[in-house]
Structure 1
Amino acid sequence: MRKQFLLLFLFSICIELCAQHPADNPTILFYNVENLFDTQNDSLTLDDEFLPDGERHWTRNRFQQKVNHLSKVILSCSGFNPPAIIGLCEVENRYVLEQLTQETPLKKLGYRIIHKDSPDERGIDVALLFRPEIVKPLYFSYHPVTDGNGGIESTREILQAGFAFPKDDTVHVFVNHWPSRYSGQAKTAPKRMRAAQALLSAIMELREKSPKAKLIVMGDFNDGPESASLLELTKQKAANSDSAVSISLANLSRNWQQGTLKYRQSWFVFDQILVSQELMEPNGWFVHAQSATIVNLPFLLIPDSKYQGMKLNRTYNGFRYQGGFSDHLPVLLKLSYQ
């Protein structure tokens, strides 16, 4: 009798999950996918190391394994309901996104692509995928980062897109991949501050048109929540601005205990999700302080024999091919409706 009751219970749960409409509990994912390059040479970018005869010996088989791995993460990150929107960084071009969405198990979900080539020297970009049966794109635009001299920085632009959600609600999404710390944290900090200012300018422009707009800001910021560049985003309004329009972003990643990437023995929270205060009010689609989490799937980590604990199951360890997933953990935002 006990066994029959358990089977009946499990069966009822399965029916409920299968009957659940994908728009009931939409999620939004951000993922730094670690150098998703194709195997073809682009003469306009520094992609030579990711060629079959390059330093990393990047082959078609390795590329195909990579996109299959990424599809596994996307399909596993939020239970039975894969994300409605996915922000990605470190993708080389539209072709690799087409391969990810069309030549893996993701094909059945019908993801659509928003992408534009950036001025980054290595040719890596930010992009968005979305499920058109859940959200409808209203617009998108890209915002460059200046170099401090009036020119354009050779880095990733900031992607802004508006989506119509079910039940007549609109959410605006900003995808970021700020300049790295490769040349040193202090030396590169001004670049990330300029990226923060470019983001704030884009938000201010949107706020002037729609003061109560619901905003989601996500990305790999290459700075932690307590860095000056991220704290700039949580001020009431942009620095050096006479506008009375409020920014007031809340960083939902601020109290995370584990990081999203590891360097030697230390973990860092570089991948973060911030939202506007309007999105934290239960009026339509909303989130609360615990709605954003790190996607900590077991297969994304492996034992760290050198520094103890666990480390990322990444595609490369230096120039040695490991065949893993990424050198970052994804982050996920779950939305609720009231």
Structure 2
Amino acid sequence: MKRTILLLTYLLALSVSVFAQSIIDGSEKDKRGDFRVLFYNVENLFDCFNDSLTLDDEFLPQGERSWTWDKYQKKSQKIGKVILSAGAWEFPDLIGLCEIENRFVLDGLFKIGYLNNAGYQIIHRESPDRRGIDVALIYQARTFQPIDTSFLQLVYKGECSSTTREILYVKGKTHTDDTLHVFVNHWPSRWGGQFDSEHKRLSAAELLKSKLVEILKSDSKAKIIIMGDFNDYPDDKSIQMVLKALMPKDSFENNQLYNLAGLFLNKTGIGSHKYQGKWGMLDQFIVSGSLLNKTGCLYCESTGMSLFKPSFLLEEDHTYYGEKPFRSFVGYKYNNGFSDHLPVILDLWRK
């Protein structure tokens, strides 16, 4: 009995130790990989100008949120601070962003303020999303060079055109001569209820799957990185049944997908987003087994995904206790924060 208790105590301590390594707080002790990827849902990064083609009226000075130039600038500076801090003394090599309104706000992030002269290049286009929010990929030209780019339009069954944001696909070469296939996702929300909106995320998963099949048919050892806010959890149908993204294990197949966010599944008090007092991992990294099998120069570990959780991104949760993301708005009340999501990080290492 004593031996059993000691073994259980050891296993628990080991589990806590390994999991603690997947939380990054922005301190000097944080060790980054040779190639760092950041994904961040920045929560409604809008300018304060009217776009007659989208539903952006609430983000105008006279709108429901009284969104002014000063508030927009403060928001941009805060997002810049997050990106700078998440780099661990070097800028992230790739950055996936979602909930950005247009190229203007992207240029504002990377041409002024904290990230001025950082050397970032931007891949983005206006999506057909009704609210006008898009996804984008930002890259360091010295460590990543795009070869091919496409925007996958999501058209729901029974509709003739797309009314939501696209999935961004970029194929590129790294400074180590590895070829990466990178996807940036922001799947349809759970607005109206998880069950009633599920078919939309299943459609997004099918769209992504079709592109993945094409890539893996051409190269069964393709190094694939899928990042995003999926508005579903790692064990939901869209991720497990459509994408067939498995939880990380001890051995990997090159052409199989593995969801590194599985490490965070059902961990009390841990997640990238908090809803009604419960933390969950909506923001995820999914990779192909070839990256875990070290088939190229760059590779990742099954524990290579981290949650970026410095204290400045959190505030006290007076309703459900503990902490919650320090967001820009609570309802329509201005909160002068960062986002309702925490960023996630993927580190690749060089052999």
TM-score (structure 2 length as normaliser): 0.85
Opposite residue 210 of structure 2, the aligned amino acid is: S
1:290 maps to 2:315: no
1:128 maps to 2:133: no
Distance of 2:255 and 2:332 partners within structure 1: 42
Opposite residue 284 of structure 2, the aligned amino acid is: Q
Shift of 1:269: 0.8
Does the aligned pair in 2 maintain the 1:77–1:297 contact within 8 Å?
Answer: no
Q: Report the 3-state secondary structure (helix = DSSP H, G, I; strand = E; otherwise coil) of the residue aligned with 1:97.
A: helix
Does the aligned pair in 1 maintain the 2:96–2:137 contact within 8 Å?
Answer: yes
Distance of 2:310 and 2:230 partners within structure 1: 22
Shift of 1:330: 0.5
Q: Report the 3-state secondary structure (helix = DSSP H, G, I; strand = E; otherwise coil) of the residue aligned with 2:258.
A: strand
Q: How does 1:259-298 map to 2 (within 5 A)?
A: 259-283=271-295, 284-298=297-311
Q: Report the 3-state secondary structure (helix = DSSP H, G, I; strand = E; otherwise coil) of the residue aligned with 2:135.
A: strand
Query: Which residue matches 2:260?
Result: 252
Distance of 1:152 and 1:289 partners within structure 2: 38
Shift of 1:152: 3.1
Structure 1 residues 133, 279: closer, same or farther in 2, change over 3 A? Answer: same
Distance of 2:143 and 2:87 partners within structure 1: 15
Residue 158 of structure 1 is aligned with which of 157, 164, 167? 167
Q: Report the 3-state secondary structure (helix = DSSP H, G, I; strand = E; otherwise coil) of the residue aligned with 2:117.
A: helix
Q: How does 1:104-183 map to 2 (within 5 A)?
A: 104-149=113-158, 151-183=160-192
Shift of 1:233: 5.0
Query: Which residue matches 2:108?
Result: 99
Shift of 1:235: 2.6
Shift of 1:103: 1.2
Does the aligned pair in 1 maintain the 2:179–2:223 contact within 8 Å?
Answer: yes
- Greater mean alpha carbon deviation, residues 133-142 or residues 314-323: 133-142
Query: Which residue matches 1:188?
Result: 197
Q: Report the 3-state secondary structure (helix = DSSP H, G, I; strand = E; otherwise coil) of the residue aligned with 1:193.
A: helix
Distance of 2:259 and 2:241 partners within structure 1: 11
Opposite residue 163 of structure 2, the aligned amino acid is: S
Does the aligned pair in 1 maintain the 2:169–2:182 contact within 8 Å?
Answer: yes
Opposite residue 300 of structure 2, the aligned amino acid is: V
Query: Which residue matches 2:91?
Result: 82
Query: Which residue matches 1:200?
Result: 209
Could you tell me which runs of 5 or more consecutive residues in structure 1 were left unpaired when the two chains were aligned. 1-16, 238-245
Does the aligned pair in 2 maintain the 1:234–1:250 contact within 8 Å?
Answer: no
User: How many residues are treated as equivalent by the alignment?
Assistant: 310
Q: Report the 3-state secondary structure (helix = DSSP H, G, I; strand = E; otherwise coil) of the residue aligned with 1:335.
A: strand
Query: Which residue matches 1:324?
Result: 337
Distance of 2:245 and 2:275 partners within structure 1: 33
Structure 1 residues 112, 187: closer, same or farther in 2, change over 3 A? Answer: same
Distance of 1:28 and 1:162 partners within structure 2: 15
Does the aligned pair in 2 maintain the 1:92–1:125 contact within 8 Å?
Answer: yes
Larger RCO: 1 or 2 (CA < 8 Å, sep 6+): 2
Structure 1 residues 185, 210: closer, same or farther in 2, change over 3 A? Answer: same
Q: Report the 3-state secondary structure (helix = DSSP H, G, I; strand = E; otherwise coil) of the residue aligned with 1:190.
A: helix
Does the aligned pair in 1 maintain the 2:135–2:167 contact within 8 Å?
Answer: yes
Deviations 1:107-145 (A, max 9, x none): 121111000111110000010111111111111101011
Structure 1 residues 288, 234: closer, same or farther in 2, change over 3 A? Answer: farther
Distance of 1:108 and 1:296 partners within structure 2: 26
Shift of 1:58: 0.6
Q: Report the 3-state secondary structure (helix = DSSP H, G, I; strand = E; otherwise coil) of the residue aligned with 2:205.
A: helix
Structure 1 residues 247, 44: closer, same or farther in 2, change over 3 A? Answer: farther
Shift of 1:104: 1.5
Distance of 1:278 and 1:181 partners within structure 2: 32
Shift of 1:150: 5.4
Shift of 1:264: 2.0
Shift of 1:236: 8.1
Does the aligned pair in 1 maintain the 2:185–2:230 contact within 8 Å?
Answer: yes
| Percent of aligned pairs sharing the same letter | 44
Q: Report the 3-state secondary structure (helix = DSSP H, G, I; strand = E; otherwise coil) of the residue aligned with 2:345.
A: strand
Does the aligned pair in 1 maintain the 2:38–2:344 contact within 8 Å?
Answer: yes
1:31 maps to 2:60: no
Q: Report the 3-state secondary structure (helix = DSSP H, G, I; strand = E; otherwise coil) of the residue aligned with 2:263.
A: coil
Opposite residue 298 of structure 1, the aligned amino acid is: S
Does the aligned pair in 1 maintain the 2:232–2:282 contact within 8 Å?
Answer: yes
Opposite residue 275 of structure 2, the aligned amino acid is: Y
* Superposed CA RMSD: 1.8
